Structure 1
Amino acid sequence: MMTGRTIMIVGNGDVPKGAAATIDAADVVIRFNDCRSVGTGGTKTDIIAVCNTGRPALAMLGGGRWKNSAAVRQTREIWSVRSGEKFAGMRAELAETHPDLDDFCDDYTAGFESFTMATGRAHRIVSIAVHEQLDRDLARFSPSPYVVPSSGMVVIADVIAGFASADDHIVIAGFGHVGWALHPFGAERRYVEALVAEGRLRRLSHSSSDLSQGA
């Protein structure tokens, strides 16, 4: 019999057909930004991890579309994925190497803090230590030059590093490891495969509705 919580991390990529009920049955469901996984990926949303810097943050905080969405109304906690300290330290180098990313490090964490305080939700910030350890872990998989890991990878690392307890089960769905060219998706895929092989993480598949049998 399975003990501990099932923590389901649902990315915004394709989710296995028929997975909605399995995702909604998890003890904790974490989604990202505008929660495009809602629908085929179920509806339960306990935590939303947001990109709290740059244009994505500005878009979410501006106006009421994101704030009034069904997923945000349901969630009990918002996680700011990007450490302000980490991104402030990147600004000068990015100005030299990627001048087109001039607003990439603009920090809107205070806006998410204000929103959660006003709506009675919890807010936490992923620590700089998680970011730096993740960079070291990804280095083992020979990443091409990149700016930052994806928000999904940061959250996986954060959950493994401390949010999950030893008897919890971490399951991911909706992770295709493709997208923005300046995320190290190839290395991220290889790292996730290593975590799965070590039994520290599982992928939700078409046949994994019984999570006690693995995913």
Structure 2
Amino acid sequence: MHNGRVIMIVGNGDVPEGVGATIDAADLVVRFNDCRSVGKGGGRTDIVAVCNTGRPALAMLGGGRWKTSAPVRQAREIWSVRAATRFAAMRAALAATHPDLDDFCDDYTDGFESFARATARKHRVIEAETHDRLERDLARFSPSPFVAPSSGLVVIADILSGFASSEDHVVLAGFGHVGWQWHPFAAERRYVDSLAAQGRLRRLPPFTSSDLPQGA
């Protein structure tokens, strides 16, 4: 039996057939927003990390379907990925460079906090310092112009910067590093590959469930 936890971070990208049981067997499973990974990517959900600004946040809080979905009902914690003060500070510059993103910095953190409180679960906001440190790290991988790193990458950086202990095993699934044009996905892929090369995390696949340490 290992001492650390298996922390599974499951993005909303493609998850291959046959990995659901491995994901569900982890000690902690983090999913994102509407948790599209549920299904082929198993069902267990301990933490839902949400984009708490702009249109995605408004959609999650506005319709009711997100709040009553199975993974959200199961989750013990809601994490707001974006530090409101940092994104508020971006508003003026974005108005000049990306006028179509006029609602990108609209902050709905209070809505997620209220929802978490009303449903007796923990709400956590990832600190601005995590974003700052991540963007400095990403600069080494020559990103093309971007607005913000993806929520998935912010959560990876946050977990590796202190949430996970040195004995924990951080495993990724469902990260294709493609999507919205203003996330620096090519640089994000290179950054994650460098973390894997350093042994700080692993991707699922290419290894099988038998390669993972078994349960705490």
**Range class of TM-score, shorter chain:** over 0.9
Give the TM-score normalised by the residue count of structure 2: 0.97
Contact 1:17 / 1:206 at 8 angstroms: preserved in 2? no
* Corresponding residue for residue 33 of structure 2: 33
| Amino acid across the alignment from 2:37 | S
| Distance in 1 separating the partners of 2:156 and 2:80 | 14
Deviation (angstroms), 1:207: 3.7
Secondary structure class of the residue paired with 1:138: helix
* Corresponding residue for residue 132 of structure 1: 132
| Distance in 1 separating the partners of 2:86 and 2:182 | 17
Q: Deviations over 1:109-145 (max 9, x none)?
A: 0000000000000000000000000000000000000
| Distance in 2 separating the partners of 1:80 and 1:186 | 24
Q: Deviations over 1:190-209 (max 9, x none)?
A: 00000000000100115421
Q: Deviations over 1:74-116 (max 9, x none)?
A: 0000000000011011001001100100000000000000000
| Distance in 2 separating the partners of 1:53 and 1:102 | 11
* Corresponding residue for residue 208 of structure 1: 208
| Distance in 1 separating the partners of 2:20 and 2:72 | 18
| Distance in 2 separating the partners of 1:207 and 1:139 | 30
* Corresponding residue for residue 68 of structure 2: 68
* Corresponding residue for residue 186 of structure 2: 186
Give the TM-score normalised by the residue count of structure 1: 0.97
* Corresponding residue for residue 100 of structure 2: 100
| Distance in 2 separating the partners of 1:122 and 1:210 | 32
| Correspondence 1:1-215 to 2 at 5 A | 2-212=2-212
Structure 1, unaligned runs of 5 or more: none
Identity of matched residues, %: 71
| Distance in 2 separating the partners of 1:23 and 1:60 | 24
Structure 2, unaligned runs of 5 or more: none
